[in-house]
A = this chain, B = another copy of it.
Amino acid sequence: MDEFALISRYFASVGHHQGVELGVGDDAAIIAPRPDEAWVVATDTLVAGVHFPELEPADAIAYRAVAVNVSDMAAMAAQPRYCTLALTMPTADLEWINAFAQGLRDAVTASDLALVGGDTTRGPLTVSLTVIGSGLSSALLRRSGAAVGHEILVSGCLGDAAAGLAALLDGRSPSVERERLIQRFRRPPSRVALAIDNAAFIGAAIDVSDGLLADAAHIAAASNVAINIDTERVPLSADLIASSGPDQALSHALTGGDDYELLISAPSRAVPQLQRAGFFAIGQCIAGTGVLVDGAPATGHRGYRHFDNAAG
């Protein structure tokens, strides 16, 4: 049983539902205490050795912790506003904390957030961030908004972050391309403005955190459609191809997570507008279930799942 099944099976329905428009299972929750206003809440945790290498610089860890949560806001077309930080660390190394605070400041400033609270505790290095955003209920995006006939688009090149992470871990000599890929892993860009500006043209949305195929599968499941990806249209950066070669580059793009680009569906008539805004059309929603790659079932391609080999 993987984490997605765990979440929906055990935590999907805990507590009351007054004011909860959208609960566990999407990129973020939607709370609508008033009809004209929605609050959007997302929590993401980064664990040392799981979500980033143990020796990552503290500023990069902090930046990524904010960026992955901001990305959940982008996937809802919500404006991130406030965040809280739960920081667990084995020791209080002031140099490390200073660098962490700098990365936090950079990320919070880049997304116009306020850090409003938090908790520091002793323990294995874990960074858990909660972001609260807002938007108009009717303008927020969900995974369930795709329909047969929609096109599938992505907001930028995929695979760079996975190649950057691989470059961090393989210990080979640095190059300009490898450094740029590492930066794509460490400081994912914000797609909030892109999402909000184009929300009216978008059907479903998710951010690519687990990998293109895995995240496409989430849209497919939530929207009751199948999604076909045309691999030759998936945008790959020159840095990725130069450092990984074309085959490995495509593999990173299909199954590597951590890019935090937006994956959306949209009716065909909206595609020119979305392409002008920077999206790339890479597939279609068709009748059926699951994800296809160039028309064939995407078996053997899977994104990152935390508990794939767990008991049960």
Contact = CB atoms under 8 A, between A and B. Distances in A.
Interface of A: 1, 3, 6-7, 10-11, 14-20, 23-24, 28-29, 31, 33, 39, 41-51, 81-86, 88, 91-94, 97-98, 100-101, 104-105, 108-109, 112-124, 126, 128, 130, 132, 134, 306-307, 310-312
A43 B306 contact: no
How many protomers of this protein does the assembly include? 2
Contact of A1 (B17, B18, B94, B310): B94
Contacts of A15: 83, 105, 108-109, 112-115
Contacts of A46: 121
A182 to B, nearest CB: 22
Contact of A85 (B1, B43, B113): B43
A129 to B, nearest CB: 9
Contacts of A119: 43-45, 128
A311 B24 CA distance: 40
Contacts of A100: 10
A113 to B, nearest CB: 5
Contacts of A108: 14-15
A81 B81 CA distance: 19
Contact of A116 (B23, B45, B50, B51): B23
Closest 9 CB pairs of A and B: A47-B123, A92-B310, A29-B116, A92-B307, A29-B117, A15-B114, A124-B124, A14-B115, A15-B108
A18 to B, nearest CB: 7
Question: Most B CB atoms within 10 A — which of A6, A42, A84, A128?
Answer: A128
Given A10-B98, A14-B115, 12 more contacts: A3-B120, A3-B121, A11-B85, A17-B114, A29-B84, A31-B82, A33-B134, A42-B117, A47-B123, A88-B126, A122-B306, A132-B132
Contact of A20 (B16, B94, B116): B116
Contacts of A50: 121-123
B311 A115 contact: no
Given A11-B104, A14-B105, A86-B86, A23 B117 contact: yes
Given A82-B31, A91-B311, A6 B120 contact: yes
A29 B3 CA distance: 30
Contacts of A51: 121
A296 B10 CA distance: 52
A194 B104 CA distance: 37
Contacts of A98: 10
